[in-house]
Amino acid sequence: MVYSLDRVSVTDSLHALEWRNQHLEGLRTPWMLTEDRQRRFHADVIANPDARARYWSVKDDTGLFVALVGLNPIQWENRIAEISLVTNPERRGHGIGTAAVDLVFEHGFGQMGLSAIWGECYHCNGALGFWTKIVARYQGHSTTIPSRKMWRGVLHAATWFTIDEFGWRSVYRAKQHQS
């Protein structure tokens, strides 16, 4: 399956809202967002060229929306950004997340000139194994930070990770040689 980045439509944004609201344990804001609030976020951030953020729809080769990936916030002065990823829960485990990360890294490092892309994954989030594999794949760095996320009465640790341009370039060049 081939995936690509595309402009985020309001419809895509609302689908991502549904997926997001199914897995609150992995979010900084662990409450369900409303459609109205998501529409405002779409207008104020996703569709706003002046925002310090960029978001893309990830579409498969049939044009089906399968994930929302973003860089938010982008610190242009430091050439760094935090990654954000929400995938269709019904299609997890099929390489969509990895493809979305590959695509946003290619755009962030290759076109936007970023030097590092970082993230944080709470240990109560089922995606921790996914992000651990991404860090290893791109020769990134990670550390565990205790007491970062209260979820259901338990204070959980988080893994903070960063991938730099050099780690991305080594994987990108290897993929180019295979093509």
What's the rounded mean pLDDT across residues 143-155?
Answer: 96
Please give the span between the terminal C-alpha atoms of the chain, in angstroms, as a whole number: 15
- For residue 39, the enclosing domain spans 3-178
What pLDDT digit, counting tens, does each position of 44-66 carry? Answer: 999 999 999 999 999 999 999 99
Please provide the average confidence, as pLDDT, over all residues in the chain.
96
Residue 136 pLDDT class (50, 70, 90 cuts): very high
Residue 177 pLDDT class (50, 70, 90 cuts): confident
What is the residue whose two structure tokens read 């309001």?
10
Residue 135 pLDDT class (50, 70, 90 cuts): very high
What was the pLDDT predicted at 165? Answer: 97
Domain count, the chain: 1
The pTM score is: 0.95
What was the pLDDT predicted at 178? Answer: 81
For 69, counting Cβ atoms within 10 Å of its Cβ (0-12 exposed, 13-18 middle, 19+ buried), the class is buried
One-letter identity of residue 170: S
Q: Any idea what the CATH number is for the domain that residue 102 is in?
A: 3.40.630.30
What pLDDT digit, counting tens, does each position of 73-109 carry? Answer: 999 999 999 999 999 999 999 999 999 999 999 999 9
Q: Is the pLDDT of residue 30 over 80?
A: no
Q: Per residue, what are the HEC states of 133-173?
A: HHHHHCCCEEEEEEEEEEECCEEEEEEEEEEEHHHHHHHHH
Percent of the chain with pLDDT over 90: 92
Residue 28 pLDDT class (50, 70, 90 cuts): confident
What's the rounded mean pLDDT across residues 111-120?
Answer: 98
What was the pLDDT predicted at 172? Answer: 86
What's the rounded mean pLDDT across residues 21-34?
Answer: 90
